[in-house]
Amino acid sequence: MTHAENRRSAVRKIRGMAYALTKDIASDAPFCTCGFDLRHGAVKLQKSGTCIYCGYRGKLSGEHVFGDWLRRRFDRPAGNRTHMLSRPEKPRFFEDVKLVQNVEHNKRAQPYADVVFNVCEECNNNWMSEVHKLAAPVVSRLADGFWPKLSEDEILALSRWVAMVAINLESKARIQTSTQSHRSEMMAGKMPPGWRISAARLDTSHYGGDSRHSTIKLPIGIGEDFLQAQITYFCVENVAFHATSTIGDSTLQLIQYAGVAEQYLPRRIWPICDPPNLVTKVRVNKIALDRMHETFQSPFNKRSLD
């Protein structure tokens, strides 16, 4: 089958499941059941709760979203930082859905200084610290503008770091869309299934610390909920990283065929390519990164969670 035929087949398959599922959504179902909190910046951060990785309940540790080593490595002065959240007004498929946004939250901060309280001290200071340690040399070279060929071990280290940062950015947005299975794989030293990671050179280092996370639901029943897919990008000096994820490799392939998550940055990182895709000359800007998010939407809605 051609790519276009695969895509049409995937869309038809999802649509066939969708009509039976969406009729069961009550018209007055409170959207707050999604757990998405638009009050970011207006509520006090909870410093106790459940570790998203090991399940420990108690005092949580402050985890630097990008790693404190990155803040020290690129010690840039504080500047104005803006954080905004938005969500669909209601969970619907096959309808126009109004996007509800919060008031912009502005503060002065260093680009890589964001902290989230989502993990216990044991996880933070042990295996997560090791993820940062292994990825730091690779991330630093890319951020400094170099574009080296990477070994399989370096690719794995970089991919796990990008996935961990993406999960931290979910927590920053007050919504946890990665699965417990993914997080358990991370704890075990593996790269979880269902992830695709790419990178690109940036046209300027001014975007350092900028990030964006988007999540959509597709009309495929997963337990009592629907299949979710998410993309994240973030910038570190001269390089941008992009991650797409869903529950597994087969569902990732399915949503790609459906046209939901076809785009990625020029250099494929994960899954490992053979031969490796280096793409040395292409540079992207913030407009191109934002456009990728704007095209990341369900073919069953006209608006998506951003």
For the segment 25-74, what is each residue's pLDDT rounded down to a tens digit? 333 222 333 445 555 545 566 788 899 999 999 999 999 999 999 999 99
Res 218 pLDDT > 90: no
Please state, in angstroms and rounded to a whole number, the distance separating the CA atoms of residues 306 and 284.
21
CA-based torsion, 196, 139, 164, 33: positive or negative: negative
The pLDDT value given to residue 212: 87
The pLDDT value given to residue 144: 94
Average pLDDT of the chain? 78
Q: What is the pLDDT of residues 151-168, one digit of tens each?
A: 999 999 999 999 999 999
Res 240 pLDDT > 70: yes
What percent of the chain has pLDDT above 70?
Answer: 67
Res 110 pLDDT > 70: yes
The pLDDT value given to residue 107: 72
Q: What is the pLDDT of residues 175-200, one digit of tens each?
A: 778 889 999 999 999 999 999 999 99
Residues 6+ away with beta carbon under 8 Å from 85: 36, 37, 38, 40, 101, 102, 173, 174
Domain boundaries, the chain: 3-19+40-294
Predicted TM-score of the model (pTM): 0.81
Res 284 pLDDT > 70: yes
CB 15 within 8 A of CB 300: yes
